[in-house]
């Protein structure tokens, strides 16, 4: 049985902080989960729903 892969979504207003957080999450999770960052809620929702969620 194939389990749905989770997504790690980080939303904030400081791109430098988001980039650093993404790098840290990659160190912990590697390729097990896609990591998306967004500066605004709408951008975050687009990233989330754009991954095939319905």
> What is the reported pLDDT for 52?
46
> 9-33 pLDDT, tens per residue?
999 999 999 999 999 999 999 889 8
Query: Quick check: 47 and 38 in contact, CB under 8 A?
Result: yes
Mean pLDDT along residues 33-37: 91
Taking the complete model, does pTM exceed 0.85, yes or no? no
Round to whole Å and give the CA distance between 22 and 32: 13
Domain boundaries, the chain: 8-49
């Amino acid at each position: 049985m194939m389990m749905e892969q989770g997504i790690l979504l980080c939303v904030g207003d400081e791109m430098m902080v988001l980039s650093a957080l993404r790098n840290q999450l990659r160190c912990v999770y590697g390729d097990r989960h896609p990591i998306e960052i967004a500066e605004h809620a709408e951008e975050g929702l687009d990233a989330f729903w754009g991954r095939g969620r319905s």
